[in-house]
Structure 1
Amino acid sequence: MAANGPEHFRITAGFRLLLLTLLVLSFSCEACKRVTLSVPSKLEAETFVGRVNLDECLPSANIIHSSDPHFRIFKDGSVYTTNPVVLSPEKRMFTILLSNTEKREQKNLVVLLEYQKKVLKKRHLRETVLKRAKRRWAPIPCSLQENSLGPFPMLLQQVQSDSAQNYTVYYSIRGPGVDQEPLNLFYIERDTGNLFVTRPVDREKCASYEIIAYASTPDGYSVDLPLPLEIRVEDENDNYPIFTENPYQFEVLENCGAGTTVGQVCATDADEPDTMHTRLKYSIIEQQPPSPILFSIHPVTGVIITTSSRSDRELVDKYKLTLKVQDMNGQYFGLSTKSTCIISVGDVNDNLPIFTRASYVTEVEENKSNVEILRLSVEDKDLINTPNWRANYTILRGNENGNFHIVTDPKTNEGILCVVKGLNYEEARQVVLQIGVTNQAPYSGSGSSKTISTTTVTVNVKDQDEGPECSPQMQTVHVKENTALGTQVTGYKAYDPETRSSSGIRYQALNDPTGLFTVDETSGSLKIRRSLDRESNTFRQGLYNITVRAADNGGRTCTGTLRVVVDDVNDNGPSIPTTKVIICKTQMGSAEIVAVDPDEPINGPPFEFTLPSNNERVGGGTWRLSKINDTATRISFRNDPAFGIYEIPVSVRDRLGLSTTSVVSVDLCDCVVPSECRSRTSPIRGANDVTLGKWAILAMILGAALLSCILFTLVCGTSGSSQTKKTFPDDLAQQNLIVSNTEAPGDDRVYCTNGLTTQNVSTGCTLISGAKNGQESFEMIKGGHQTLESCQGGGHHTLDSCRGGHHTLDSCRGGQVELDNCKYTYSEWQNFTQPRLGEESIRGHTLIKN
Structure 2
Amino acid sequence: MAVASAVPGSTFSKQLLFALLVLVLFCDACRKVSLQVPSHLKAETLVGKVNLEECLKSASLVLSSDPAFRILEDGTIYTTHDLLLSSEKKNFSILLSDSQRQEQKEIDIVLSARDKKVLMKRHTKDQVHRRSKRRWAPIPCSLMENSLGPFPQHIQQIQSDAAQNYTIFYSISGPGVDKEPFNLFYIEKDTGDIYCTRSIDREQYDQFLVYGYATTADGYAPDYPLPLLFKVEDDNDNAPYFETKLTVFSVPENCRSGTSVGQVTAIDNDEPGTLHTRLKYKILQQIPDHPKHFSIHPDTGVITTTTPLLDREKCDTYRLVMEVRDMGGQPFGLFTTGTITISLEDENDNSPYFTQTSYTTEVEENRIDVEILRMKVQDQDLPNTPHSKAVYTILQGNENGNFKITTDPNTNDGVLCVVKPLNYELNRQIILQIGVLNEAQFSKAANSQTPTMCTTTVTVKVKDSDEGPECQPPVKVIQSKDGLPAGQDLLGYKAMDPETSSSEGLRYQMLGDQDNWFEINENTGDLKTLKILDRESKFVKNNQYNISVVAVDTVGRSCTGTLVVLLEDSNDHPPQIDRELTICQQEKDYAVLEPVDLDGPDNGPPFQFLLDNSANKLWTLEPHDGKRAILRQRHNLNYNYYSVPIQIRDKHGLAAKHVLSVRVCDCTTPSECRMSVKEERDAKPNVILGKWAILSMVLGSALLLCILFTCFCVTTAKRTVKKSFPDDVAQQNLIISNTEGPGEEVTEANIRLPTQASNICDTSMSVGTLGGQGIKGQQSFEMVKGGGHHTLESSKGGLQGAAETGRYAYTDWQSFTQPRLGEESIRGHTLIKN
| Same fold by TM-score greater than 0.5 | yes
Find the aligned partners of 1:224 and 1:753 in 2 and give their Cα distance: 148
User: What whole-Å deviation, never above 9, does each CA across 1:191-235 have from its counterpart, x for those lacking one?
Assistant: 111111222222222112222111111111112111111222222
CA-CA distance at 1:407 after TM superposition: 1.6
Which residue of structure 1 lines up, in the alignment, with residue 819 of structure 2? none
Is 1:828 the counterpart of 2:797 in the alignment? yes
Do the aligned residues in 2 keep the contact of 1:29 with 1:108 (CA within 8 Å)?
no
Is 1:246 the counterpart of 2:249 in the alignment? no
Find the aligned partners of 2:766 and 2:108 in 1 and give their Cα distance: 148
Do the aligned residues in 1 keep the contact of 2:283 with 2:321 (CA within 8 Å)?
yes
The change in CA–CA distance for 1:140 and 1:584 in structure 2 (over 3 A counts) is closer
Find the aligned partners of 1:17 and 1:257 in 2 and give their Cα distance: 79
The change in CA–CA distance for 1:134 and 1:684 in structure 2 (over 3 A counts) is farther
Find the aligned partners of 1:405 and 1:227 in 2 and give their Cα distance: 97
CA-CA distance at 1:606 after TM superposition: 3.2
Do the aligned residues in 1 keep the contact of 2:579 with 2:661 (CA within 8 Å)?
no
Find the aligned partners of 2:240 and 2:585 in 1 and give their Cα distance: 123
Counterpart residue type for residue 361 of structure 2? T
Find the aligned partners of 2:452 and 2:14 in 1 and give their Cα distance: 83
CA-CA distance at 1:41 after TM superposition: 3.2
Do the aligned residues in 1 keep the contact of 2:737 with 2:800 (CA within 8 Å)?
no
User: What whole-Å deviation, never above 9, does each CA across 1:816-836 have from its counterpart, x for those lacking one?
Assistant: xxxxxxxx996328899xxxx
Whichever structure has more helix as a proportion of its residues is 2
Which residue of structure 1 lines up, in the alignment, with residue 662 of structure 2? 666
Find the aligned partners of 1:448 and 1:546 in 2 and give their Cα distance: 64
Instruction: Output aligned runs, 1:661-810, within 5 Å.
Output: 661-669=657-665, 675-678=673-676, 679=679, 683-688=686-691, 689-690=693-694, 713=725, 753-754=742-743, 788=762, 804=772, 806-809=774-777
Do the aligned residues in 1 keep the contact of 2:239 with 2:334 (CA within 8 Å)?
yes
Q: TM-score, normalised by structure 2?
A: 0.79
User: What whole-Å deviation, never above 9, does each CA across 1:230-254 have from its counterpart, x for those lacking one?
Assistant: 2222221111211122232111111
CA-CA distance at 1:599 after TM superposition: 3.1
SS at match of 1:329: helix
Counterpart residue type for residue 685 of structure 1? I
> Structure 2, unaligned stretches of length 5 or more?
124-131, 711-722, 746-750, 780-792, 802-834
The change in CA–CA distance for 1:23 and 1:475 in structure 2 (over 3 A counts) is farther
Find the aligned partners of 2:503 and 2:19 in 1 and give their Cα distance: 121
Which residue of structure 1 lines up, in the alignment, with residue 278 of structure 2? 279
Instruction: Output aligned runs, 1:54-93, within 5 Å.
Output: 54-66=52-64, 68-87=66-85
CA-CA distance at 1:444 after TM superposition: 0.8
Do the aligned residues in 2 keep the contact of 1:50 with 1:222 (CA within 8 Å)?
yes
SS at match of 2:777: strand
SS at match of 1:808: coil
Which residue of structure 1 lines up, in the alignment, with residue 618 of structure 2? 622
Instruction: Output aligned runs, 1:499-648, within 5 Å.
Output: 500-539=501-540, 543-579=544-580, 581-585=581-585, 588-613=588-613, 615=614, 618=615, 621-628=617-624, 630-639=626-635, 641=637, 644-648=640-644
Find the aligned partners of 1:271 and 1:338 in 2 and give their Cα distance: 18
CA-CA distance at 1:102 after TM superposition: 4.1
CA-CA distance at 1:586 after TM superposition: 6.3
Which residue of structure 2 lines up, in the alignment, with residue 32 of structure 1? 29
Which residue of structure 2 lines up, in the alignment, with residue 299 of structure 1? 298
SS at match of 1:120: helix
Do the aligned residues in 1 keep the contact of 2:430 with 2:459 (CA within 8 Å)?
yes
Which residue of structure 1 lines up, in the alignment, with residue 40 of structure 2? 42
The change in CA–CA distance for 1:607 and 1:35 in structure 2 (over 3 A counts) is farther
Find the aligned partners of 1:320 and 1:20 in 2 and give their Cα distance: 73
CA-CA distance at 1:64 after TM superposition: 2.6
Is 1:187 the counterpart of 2:186 in the alignment? yes
The change in CA–CA distance for 1:297 and 1:69 in structure 2 (over 3 A counts) is farther
Which residue of structure 2 lines up, in the alignment, with residue 160 of structure 1? 159
Instruction: Output aligned runs, 1:423-434, within 5 Å.
Output: 423-434=422-433
The change in CA–CA distance for 1:428 and 1:414 in structure 2 (over 3 A counts) is same
Counterpart residue type for residue 457 of structure 1? V
CA-CA distance at 1:603 after TM superposition: 2.7
Do the aligned residues in 2 keep the contact of 1:152 with 1:199 (CA within 8 Å)?
yes
CA-CA distance at 1:257 after TM superposition: 1.0
Instruction: Output aligned runs, 1:103-182, within 5 Å.
Output: 103-116=101-114, 119-123=117-121, 136-182=135-181
Find the aligned partners of 1:289 and 1:38 in 2 and give their Cα distance: 84
User: What whole-Å deviation, never above 9, does each CA across 1:408-457 have from its counterpart, x for those lacking one?
Assistant: 23333222222221211222222221111111111112433552111222
The change in CA–CA distance for 1:635 and 1:514 in structure 2 (over 3 A counts) is closer
Q: Which moved more, 1:190-199 or 1:507-516?
A: 507-516
CA-CA distance at 1:47 after TM superposition: 0.8
CA-CA distance at 1:750 after TM superposition: 8.3
The change in CA–CA distance for 1:226 and 1:431 in structure 2 (over 3 A counts) is same
Find the aligned partners of 1:671 and 1:23 in 2 and give their Cα distance: 113
Do the aligned residues in 1 keep the contact of 2:88 with 2:114 (CA within 8 Å)?
no
Counterpart residue type for residue 619 of structure 2? W
Find the aligned partners of 2:14 and 2:767 in 1 and give their Cα distance: 127
The change in CA–CA distance for 1:450 and 1:179 in structure 2 (over 3 A counts) is closer
SS at match of 1:469: coil
Find the aligned partners of 1:392 and 1:672 in 2 and give their Cα distance: 76
Find the aligned partners of 2:206 and 2:666 in 1 and give their Cα distance: 129
Tell me the C-alpha RMSD between the 2 structures.
4.3
CA-CA distance at 1:547 after TM superposition: 2.3
CA-CA distance at 1:751 after TM superposition: 10
The change in CA–CA distance for 1:68 and 1:687 in structure 2 (over 3 A counts) is farther
Find the aligned partners of 1:658 and 1:676 in 2 and give their Cα distance: 38
SS at match of 2:328: helix
Do the aligned residues in 2 keep the contact of 1:474 with 1:562 (CA within 8 Å)?
yes
CA-CA distance at 1:348 after TM superposition: 0.9
Find the aligned partners of 1:471 and 1:650 in 2 and give their Cα distance: 53
CA-CA distance at 1:262 after TM superposition: 1.0
Which residue of structure 1 lines up, in the alignment, with residue 318 of structure 2? 319
Find the aligned partners of 1:636 and 1:658 in 2 and give their Cα distance: 25
Find the aligned partners of 2:620 and 2:178 in 1 and give their Cα distance: 141
Counterpart residue type for residue 592 of structure 2? E
Which residue of structure 2 lines up, in the alignment, with residue 456 of structure 1? 457
Q: Which moved more, 1:173-182 or 1:331-340?
A: 173-182
Counterpart residue type for residue 549 of structure 1? V
Q: Which moved more, 1:673-682 or 1:16-25?
A: 16-25
Find the aligned partners of 2:453 and 2:561 in 1 and give their Cα distance: 46
Find the aligned partners of 2:183 and 2:771 in 1 and give their Cα distance: 152
SS at match of 2:228: strand
Which residue of structure 2 lines up, in the alignment, with residue 309 of structure 1? 308
Which residue of structure 2 lines up, in the alignment, with residue 210 of structure 1? 209
SS at match of 2:118: coil
The change in CA–CA distance for 1:264 and 1:438 in structure 2 (over 3 A counts) is same
SS at match of 1:807: coil
CA-CA distance at 1:382 after TM superposition: 1.4
Which residue of structure 2 lines up, in the alignment, with residue 492 of structure 1? 493
Is 1:234 the counterpart of 2:233 in the alignment? yes
User: What whole-Å deviation, never above 9, does each CA across 1:465-499 have from its counterpart, x for those lacking one?
Assistant: 33211123232333333212221112112123355
Find the aligned partners of 2:179 and 2:352 in 1 and give their Cα distance: 76
Do the aligned residues in 2 keep the contact of 1:670 with 1:755 (CA within 8 Å)?
no
CA-CA distance at 1:755 after TM superposition: 6.0
CA-CA distance at 1:405 after TM superposition: 1.2
Question: % of aligned pairs identical?
Answer: 45
Which residue of structure 2 lines up, in the alignment, with residue 290 of structure 1? 289
Which residue of structure 2 lines up, in the alignment, with residue 347 of structure 1? 346
SS at match of 2:725: helix
> Structure 1, unaligned stretches of length 5 or more?
1-6, 126-132, 706-710, 719-725, 734-746, 757-777, 790-795, 812-823, 833-850
Find the aligned partners of 1:750 and 1:157 in 2 and give their Cα distance: 157
User: What whole-Å deviation, never above 9, does each CA across 1:648-701 have from its counterpart, x for those lacking one?
Assistant: 21111122211111112334456666513454995332341327799x999x99
Which residue of structure 2 lines up, in the alignment, with residue 414 of structure 1? 413
SS at match of 1:690: helix
